[in-house]
C-alpha cells in the first residue's frame, strides 16, 4: 500500500483520537535490543522447512508492473537474485498477475508460466526462497492497474473516477468496491479464482525455490452506508476474506499438499486495527500483513512519539497468537527514507519485526529512486542498508533467543539443538571490517565467511548452543 491515503488518514485519525487504536498494555517499546519474550512471542509458532528447522526469511519484493503480455516479467533479471544473496537476503516476494496468466477466460498463458519458471530458476540458483504473490492494485486493468482480469470485473454500472495523484483512494470508488463484492460472492468468479490458483499450484508445487503462495495482495471490499473504515475492514475480513481463503486453500490442496499458504488482512491493519479474519482450516498457513503508515506514506517523517510501531505490533500479533500461525510481513518500507528520523525508524522497525515474525519482505528490490532498495549501481539507498543484518535463516533446533544490537553491530543466537544432527545456517551481510563468530557449547563452525556470506554450525544433538557474531572494531 503506497502513496497518499487521505480518506484513511481522516478515518484513522478519528479512531486514534477516541483511543481505540492505542497500544495494548502488552506492547513493547521498539528498540534495538529486544527485552524478554512476551506471551505472544511464545504462542506464535515459527515457520519451518521440510527438515523441521526454524526458518527466518529476510528479503524484498521483486516486481514488474510496467510490462505485460509478451513483455511480462522482462524487467526482472538474474541480477535481482544474485544481489539479494550477496547482501545476505534469502527471500523474494514475487508479484504475478492474474490478468497476465489468464488474459481471456479459460485460456492460460503458457508463455507467462514459462517466464515465472525462469525467474524461479534464478532464485533457486542463488538460494532465494520465493513467495508467489497473486497481486492486485485497485482490483485490476479495468481501473487502469494490474491484477484481476477485466473479464472478471463486474461493477453493476457504478461510477469510477481515476485519481492518479492518490491512487489508493480509488479503492473507495463505488465501481471498485462492487467489483470486490462480486469476486467474493459470484459462484462463477469464485470458481475462476480457484482454478487460476490450481494452475499455479500444479505447475510450481515441486519447484525447490517456492516456499509459499500469497493468495491475494491487499484485499479490500465494499463499505456499507454509515460504516466506519475499521468496522468495515473487520466485517470484510470475517465475512468475505475468511471464506475466500478457505475456498482457495481447499482448491490448492487438491494440487499441492505441502506449500505454505499466506493470507493477508485488509491494509487497514497497518494503522493498528486488529483483524477480523477467522480460522483458516489449513495447518500450513502463514499470516502475512503489511506494515505501512498513513502519515509516512503521505510524505511525513517518522514520529517516534506517535506510538505507531507499538500499536501495530500489539494489533498484528493477536490473530496469529490465537490461531497458532507463523507471521511473515509481506511489504513494508517508506518512500522518503532519507528524512531526519528515518534512521531511527529503520532501526526500530527492524527490531519490532524481528520480535514476532518469521520474516519480512521490504518494498521493493529495484535499481533507481522512489521505493527502490538500491540505486542504479546496486548500492543501498539512504538508511536501507539497515535492513541487512546478521541473522539465522535456518536453525536446527528450538530457538531460545535471537537478538541483534544495531548500535554494537552484534548478533546473538541461543538454541537447543535438534535431537538429530543437522546444520544451522547464519547469514552475514558484506562487511569491510569483517565478522567474528564465536560458538559456546558442544558445537563447531563448519564454514566461515569473515567478510560476509554463509556460515554453518553443527551442534551435538540436544545441546544448548550460543552463537555470537560481532563486526570487527565494533563496541561492546
State pLDDT tens for residues 86-124.
Answer: 999 999 999 999 999 999 999 999 999 999 999 999 999
Q: 39 pLDDT exceeds 80?
A: no
Decide if 210 contacts 251 (C-beta within 8 A): no
Q: Please give the share of the chain, as a percent, with pLDDT higher than 70.
A: 91
Q: 18 pLDDT exceeds 60?
A: no
Q: Are residues 403 and 367 in the same domain?
A: no
Q: Give the span between the Cα atoms of 211 and 208, in whole angstroms.
A: 8
- pLDDT of amino acid 196: 98
- pLDDT of amino acid 290: 98
Whole-model pTM?
A: 0.93
Q: What is the DSSP letter of 144?
A: T
Q: Give the span between the Cα atoms of 353 and 361, in whole angstroms.
A: 11
For the chain, give the mean pLDDT: 92
395 in a domain, yes or no? yes
Q: Give the span between the Cα atoms of 89 and 71, in whole angstroms.
A: 27
Q: Can you spell out the DSSP letters for 308-326?
A: HHHHHHHHHHHHHHHHT--
State pLDDT tens for residues 418-433.
Answer: 999 999 999 999 999 9
State pLDDT tens for residues 200-258.
Answer: 999 999 999 999 999 999 999 999 999 999 999 999 999 999 999 999 999 999 999 99
337 Cα distance to chain centroid: 19
407 in a domain, yes or no? yes
Cell digits of residue 195: 482454478
Q: Are residues 304 and 407 in the same domain?
A: no
What is the bridge-based pairing of β-strands 443-447 and 453-459?
A: antiparallel
Q: Are residues 193 and 246 in the same domain?
A: yes
Q: Are residues 37 and 154 in the same domain?
A: yes
The CATH number for 441's domain is 2.60.40
Q: 147 pLDDT exceeds 80?
A: yes
The CATH number for 202's domain is 3.20.20.80
Q: Are residues 437 and 376 in the same domain?
A: no
**End position of a domain, from candidates 336, 357, 388:** 388
- pLDDT of amino acid 26: 32
Q: Are residues 362 and 456 in the same domain?
A: no
Q: Please give the share of the chain, as a percent, with pLDDT higher than 90.
A: 88
Structural domain count of the chain: 2
Q: Are residues 211 and 276 in the same domain?
A: yes
Decide if 326 contacts 288 (C-beta within 8 A): no
Q: Give the span between the Cα atoms of 102 and 120, in whole angstroms.
A: 20
| For helices 110-125 and 187-204, angle between their N-to-C axes, nearest 10 degrees | 40
CA torsion 369-380-95-209 (nearest 10°) is 160
State pLDDT tens for residues 285-299.
Answer: 999 999 999 899 989
Q: Are residues 409 and 465 in the same domain?
A: yes
Q: Give the span between the Cα atoms of 129 and 383, in whole angstroms.
A: 24
Decide if 141 contacts 99 (C-beta within 8 A): yes
Cell digits of residue 103: 488474459
Q: 322 pLDDT exceeds 50?
A: yes
195 in a domain, yes or no? yes
**Residue where the block lists cell 505501512:** 292
Q: 13 pLDDT exceeds 50?
A: no
Query: 465 is in which domain, residue-wise?
Result: 390-476
27 in a domain, yes or no? no
Q: Give the span between the Cα atoms of 395 and 426, in whole angstroms.
A: 8
Amino acid at each position: 500500500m503506497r502513496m497518499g491515503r487521505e480518506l484513511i488518514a481522516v478515518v484513522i485519525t478519528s479512531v486514534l483520537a477516541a483511543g481505540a487504536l492505542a497500544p495494548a498494555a502488552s506492547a513493547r517499546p521498539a528498540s534495538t535490543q529486544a527485552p524478554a519474550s512476551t506471551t505472544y512471542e511464545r504462542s506464535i509458532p515459527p515457520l519451518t522447512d521440510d527438515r523441521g528447522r526454524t526458518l527466518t526469511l529476510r528479503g524484498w519484493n521483486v516486481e514488474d508492473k510496467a510490462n505485460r503480455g509478451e513483455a511480462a516479467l522482462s524487467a526482472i533479471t538474474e541480477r535481482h537474485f544474485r544481489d539479494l544473496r550477496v547482501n545476505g537476503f534469502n527471500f523474494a516476494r514475487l508479484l504475478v498477475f492474474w490478468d497476465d496468466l489468464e488474459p481471456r477466460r479459460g485460456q492460460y498463458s503458457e508463455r507467462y508460466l514459462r517466464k515465472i519458471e525462469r525467474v524461479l530458476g534464478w532464485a533457486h540458483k542463488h538460494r532465494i526462497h520465493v513467495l508467489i504473490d497473486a497481486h492486485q492494485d485497485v482490483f485490476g486493468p479495468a481501473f487502469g492497474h494490474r491484477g484481476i482480469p477485466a473479464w472478471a470485473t463486474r461493477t453493476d454500472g457504478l461510477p469510477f473516477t481515476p485519481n492518479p495523484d492518490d491512487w489508493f483512494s480509488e479503492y473507495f470508488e463505488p465501481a471498485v468496491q462492487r467489483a470486490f463484492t462480486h469476486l467474493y460472492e459470484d459462484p462463477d468468479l469464485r470458481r475462476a479464482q480457484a482454478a487460476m490458483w490450481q494452475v499455479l499450484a500444479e505447475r510450481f508445487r515441486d519447484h525447490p525455490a517456492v516456499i509459499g503462495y500469497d493468495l491475494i495482495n491487499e484485499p479490500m471490499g465494499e463499505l456499507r452506508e454509515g460504516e466506519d473504515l475499521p468496522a468495515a475492514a473487520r466485517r470484510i475480513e470475517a465475512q468475505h476474506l475468511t471464506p475466500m481463503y478457505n475456498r482457495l486453500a481447499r482448491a490448492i490442496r487438491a494440487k499441492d499438499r505441502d506449500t505454505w499458504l499466506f493470507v493477508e488482512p485488509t491494509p487497514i491493519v497497518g494503522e493498528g486495527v486488529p483483524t477480523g479474519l477467522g480460522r483458516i482450516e489449513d495447518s500450513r498457513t502463514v499470516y502475512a500483513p503489511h506494515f505501512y503508515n498513513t502519515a509516512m506514506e503521505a510524505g511525513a517523517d517518522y514520529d517516534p512519539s506517535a506510538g505507531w510501531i507499538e500499536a501495530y505490533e500489539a494489533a498484528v500479533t493477536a490473530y496469529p497468537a490465537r490461531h497458532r500461525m507463523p507471521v511473515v510481513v509481506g511489504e513494508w518500507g517508506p518512500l522518503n527514507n532519507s528524512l531526519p528520523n528515518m534512521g531511527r525508524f529503520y532501526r526500530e522497525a527492524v527490531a519490532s519485526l524481528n520480535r514476532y515474525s518469521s520474516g519480512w519482505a521490504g518494498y521493493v528490490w529495484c535499481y533507481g529512486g522512489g521505493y527502490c532498495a538500491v540505486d542504479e549501481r546496486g548500492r543501498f539507498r539512504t538508511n536501507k542498508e539497515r535492513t541487512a543484518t546478521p541473522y539465522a535463516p535456518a536453525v536446527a533446533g528450538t530457538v531460545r533467543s535471537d537478538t541483534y544490537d544495531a548500535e554494537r553491530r552484534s548478533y546473538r543466537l541461543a538454541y537447543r539443538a535438534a535431537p538429530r544432527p543437522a546444520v544451522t545456517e547464519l547469514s552475514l551481510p558484506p562487511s569491510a571490517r569483517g565478522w567474528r563468530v564465536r560458538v559456546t557449547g558442544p558445537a563447531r563452525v563448519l564454514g566461515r565467511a569473515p567478510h560476509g556470506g554463509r556460515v554453518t554450525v553443527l551442534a551435538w544433538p540436544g545441546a544448548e548452543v550460543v552463537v555470537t557474531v560481532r563486526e570487527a572494531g565494533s563496541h561492546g
